[in-house]
Amino acid sequence: MAELFIKQAENYAEGRPSFPPELFEFIASKTPSKDLAWDVGTGSGQAARSLAGIYKNVIATDTSPKQLSFAPRLPNIRYQQTPPTMSIAELESIAPESSVDVVTIAQALHWFDLPNFYQQVKWVLKKPHGVIAAWCYTVPEVNDSVDSVFLPFYNVTVEPYWEPARKLVDDKYRSIHFPFEPVDGVDHTGPFQFVTEKLMDLDHYFTYLRSWSAYNTAREKGVELLSDDVIEKFKRAWSEDGQDQKIVKFPVYLKIGRVGNIV
């Protein structure tokens, strides 16, 4: 079992896309100061790396020490393992009250205990302009041939193994509870759409699929979702255009808001 989760962490670090500069530029444009960012559920640090180029200091936390072991080491990023739920005392070990310019959550908010987490966010953010930015990305888009194999695989074969929270991602975070005020310049909290791209060969694409929580849940139950038949279907579709590497697009959906003066 431990080896399974180690492998999942490796697949996550290797297979997951990074996020577009435009996303971070938009978020940063809504934070008046750039002193401190807290990246929650940082995983292997994809978002923390980008934040470190904008904010003076970044705190990046995750419950998984294995995920954190794959994160990039930069001088202004402090990584910290945290329990799934934290007391105020534990929260103070991350950042003092009203000290954080932005809290970011990349592809993880749907897993959180939202009422408890939002109280923590309101405690650490600077008032009234501290920002919370949470985003998800939906299914990869390659081309018609590959996507025609992927969609039934995702919607039928894999669907029973997703946790219910995955529905919030499929819904592009439109229905996720988000009790914050619109940031300056917009009249709603999103979702705002971006897109990220990753150059992949087929093996890399499979690595991404194997990083899914649903894939690993199925493995725990003795089910191999990427069976020989499924792999063969993907191989035929992938090879149709004669290109080993392809640009894979991931639509990104951002919810963003400011804390205001609420406590």
Regarding pTM above 0.95, the answer is: no
In angstroms, the CA 160 to CA 60 distance is: 32
| Beta strands per DSSP E along the chain | 36-40, 57-62, 77-81, 102-106, 131-137, 192-200, 246-258
Domain 2-138+164-197+249-258 belongs to what topology? Rossmann fold (3.40.50)
In angstroms, the CA 101 to CA 192 distance is: 20
pLDDT tens sequence across 130-149: 999 999 999 999 999 999 99
Give the containing element (helix H, strand E) for 82: none
pLDDT tens sequence across 8-53: 545 544 556 789 999 999 999 999 999 999 999 999 899 999 999 9
pLDDT tens sequence across 206-226: 999 999 999 999 999 999 999
CA-nearest of 226, 228, 183, 181 to 208 is 226
Grouping H, G, I as helix, E, B as strand and the rest as coil, residue 181 is strand
